[in-house]
Structure 1
Amino acid sequence: FQADAIKALLNQAGAPFWQANRPGVLVWLVEQSGGQQRIINAELAPQFYNALNQAAEARGVPLIQPLLDLEELNQIGAADLWDLSIPVIDSASQRYDNGAVLVGKFSQAYDKSWFGQWMLLYRGDRQIEHYRGTELADFFIRGSDLVADRLAADYAVAVNQTQRNNNLTIKFSGIKDHTDYLALSEYLRQVPALKAIQLSHIDGKHCYFSLEGSDDIDQVRALIELNDRLVPSRDDSRDSYLSNQLHYQWLDRS
């Protein structure tokens, strides 16, 4: 399909769309059957994981599944996940490059209905979602909706043509040469929430851009910071934040 054409139609309608570069979601799944609990992934229980992955793909959420190797299983067990032990889950999740952690636990009752619970860990917050129903697929849809709705607040871009856009001035430090400048410019042009990118001026190793961006500066920050070479500068003060001036450091990868 033609991505640019579809994006243009969404813009005209004011409908939200996902930023292409968005964080993956690490998923821990634990099933209880016959009084026994087990951690599962696509290899151990493809019928369950594939159902979750299908629901996540429908919402545009990229999933990361744990390796469940010996090192990992010595660090976290099925009981830890079933009990939703956040300290253990946080520790085991650190080996993965993820933007959020989703934990799902489920079991089948004697009447063949399913019950389960989802826990989303995102930016220091915890969200809980309970489920009871006849279709396990609905449980996986519930989990996908939980994480998609939460991440969309930061990573789904909606362009409303009736809204006034903010003019942002963004200072980038650490630009050493032409290669750095080209790499930075290319990345900024790939961020849908920013448009009409214009270089204001260059002062030594500092580049200043004038950008027409989203009304939601928190969202703009989140989208820009998906690039691991861009980190907020330590002198990015609260005053500059309020006046629509952001300051980032371009990290050297050479």
Structure 2
Amino acid sequence: MSRSKGLLLTWMCLLLFSGSLQAGKVGNLYQSTVPVTGQDTNERSAAIATALTQVLIKVTGESRLEERPETRGLLSGASGFVQQYRYEKRSHPSPLPDQAPVDALYLHVQFDSNAINEALRKRGLPVWGDVRPSTLIWLAVEQGAQRYLVAADSEPGIVTELREASARRGIPILLPLLDLEDQAALSVADVWGNFRASVLKASARYQPDAVLVGRIYRQSDGLWEAAWAFYHDGNSSSWISSGALSSQVLAQGLEGTADLLAARFAPIGLSLSGGEFLLRVEAVDSLEDYARLHRYLGALQPIKSLTPDRITAGEVQFRVTLEGDYRILQQVIGLTNQLQPIAAAGGSASLEQPILPTLRYRLVQ
């Protein structure tokens, strides 16, 4: 047996005793909970279709999924994707003062992720993996004559609404600590005025992939309004949202964020035919390095199959089959600090053109 093949066999055996990669993943993409009034068959079927719609929006990143003709067959056959379901009772505060909490009934549904992914790909729709960019939210609130910033451990009502809205779209969010370091770096006025340089400088300590800046206030007619600015990868976008409830306005901020990120990481219309590539990684100097690299790559959604192809001193080459365009894989890898691209002229990982296209990276130690 050659030395290269012997190393390959040894390193593959090591994987059998290695844990799985969990960091940076979004959970609960394939489950949803919807309110119901009863447990009869017809209402359960309708609730399952609603739950599947919510799951498909999270998985594809497409907020107007119901309008797409490709999904009609999916939604009409929603029950066929169910793995399990259960009913839950939850208590909510009464809208009337001095009244006992009100019980409400919900249906929680877990869907088959593999079946959904296969169905989406057959219809040419994207599958946005569970490694997703994190967004740091700087939110300034005006109530009466007072303005303040929302921290991770303050304003539980607003924080809950932000987290629920982000969960509905599968978007990881961060909220600032607003400790002494934050207070020295950024003021309420900086966020209210959306002073980009100050905001991005103060954000650096959190190392987010994107930053969302918002200011929310109540207008004289009683409606809530918010102005949003989103920064990601050197680009910026802005929009206004309004509604009768603050929760609606906050949700619109997260909806806009999710739409912008999905357009980048799960674009509709990009080639989904996949293809075979070689992925060459340098600085793999030990069995532990190889095991970490293999676990990391094997957990990335765009990778359909991953086969070690060649091992030399300090370098491993994999034969990779992708679901979708290689640019999506480059973007997903760019969300983590595991691999550093060996840059081509354009600054992304070099895509060579030998017999098979080859992406080149260096393992970060």
TM-score normalised by length of structure 1: 0.88
Q: Which is worse superposed, 72-81 or 17-26? A: 17-26
Q: Which residue of 1 is the match for residue 70 of structure 2?
A: none
Q: Which runs of 5+ in 1 are unaligned?
A: none
Look up the equivalent residue of 1:51 and give its one-letter code: E
- Distance in 2 between residues matched to 1:163 and 1:195, nearest whole Å: 12
State the 1:10 CA deviation: 2.4
Does structure 1 residue 206 correspond to structure 2 residue 315?
yes
> Structure 2 length as normaliser, TM-score?
0.63
Does structure 1 residue 195 correspond to structure 2 residue 308? no
**8 Å Cα contact 2:211/2:231 also seen in 1:** yes
Measured after TM superposition, the shift of residue 22 of structure 1 is 2.2
2:330 counterpart (221, 228, 243): 221
Count of matched residue pairs: 250
Report the Cα offset of residue 199 of structure 1: 1.6
Q: What do you get for the CA RMSD once the two structures are aligned?
A: 2.5
SS at match of 1:249: strand
Cα distance in 1 for residues equivalent to 2:237 and 2:339: 29
Change (3 A) 1:4 1:225: farther
Percent identity reads 26
Alpha carbons of structure 1 residues 19 and 109: separation in structure 2 relative to 1, 3 Å? same
Alignment of 1:52-201 (within 5 A): 52-156=162-266, 163-201=272-310
1:41-56 pair list within 5 angstroms: 41-56=151-166
Partners of 1:116 and 1:124 in 2: CA distance: 23
SS in 2 for 1:197: strand
Contact 1:19 1:157 in 2 (8 A): no
Deviation of the 1:117 alpha carbon: 0.8
Answer yes or no: is the 8 Å Cα contact 2:302–2:324 preserved in 1: no
Please report how far the alpha carbon of residue 240 of structure 1 lies from its aligned counterpart in structure 2 after TM superposition: 4.6
Q: Which runs of 5+ in 2 are unaligned?
A: 1-30, 32-82, 84-109
Separation (CA, whole Å) in 2 of partners of 1:157 and 1:9: 18
Quote the Cα distance in structure 2 between the aligned partners of 1:92 and 1:128: 20
Task: Show the counterpart of 1:232.
Answer: 341
Aligned to 2:10: none
Over alpha carbons, which structure has the higher Rg? 2
1:220, distance to aligned residue in structure 2 (A) = 0.6
1:20 deviates by 2.3
Q: Which residue number corresponds to residue 245 of structure 1?
A: 358
Distance 1:71 1:182, change over 3 A: closer
Residues in 1 aligned to 2:188 and 2:265: alpha-carbon distance in whole angstroms: 31
Which amino acid is 1:40 matched to?
V
Q: Give the Cα–Cα distance (whole angstroms) in 2 for the partners of residues 251 and 113 of structure 1.
A: 50
Question: Which amino acid in 2 is paired with 1:248?
Answer: Y
Instruction: Kindly indicate whether the alpha-carbon contact (under 8 Å) linking 2:139 and 2:150 is maintained by their aligned counterparts in 1.
Output: yes
Q: Is the 8 A contact 2:272 2:323 kept in 1?
A: no
1:82 Cα offset (Å): 0.7
Structure 1 pair 225–4 and aligned structure 2 pair: CA distance change class (3 A): farther
Give the residue type in structure 2 aligned to 1:250.
Answer: L
Determine helix, strand or coil for the equivalent of 2:351. Answer: helix
Equivalent position SS for 1:74: helix
Contact 1:197 1:211 in 2 (8 A): yes
How far has the Cα of 1:144 moved from its partner? 1.0
Would the aligned equivalents of 1:154 and 1:218 in 2 still touch at CA under 8 Å?
A: no
Match of residue 112 from structure 2: 5
User: 1:126 & 1:146 partners in 2: Cα distance?
Assistant: 12
Deviation at 1:54, TM superposition (A): 0.8
TM-superposed CA distance for 1:163, in Å, is 4.4
Deviations 1:30-68 (A, max 9, x none): 012223321122433111221111111111111111000
Shift of 1:207: 1.0
Which amino acid in structure 2 is aligned with residue 205 of structure 1? G
3-state SS, counterpart of residue 205 of structure 2: coil
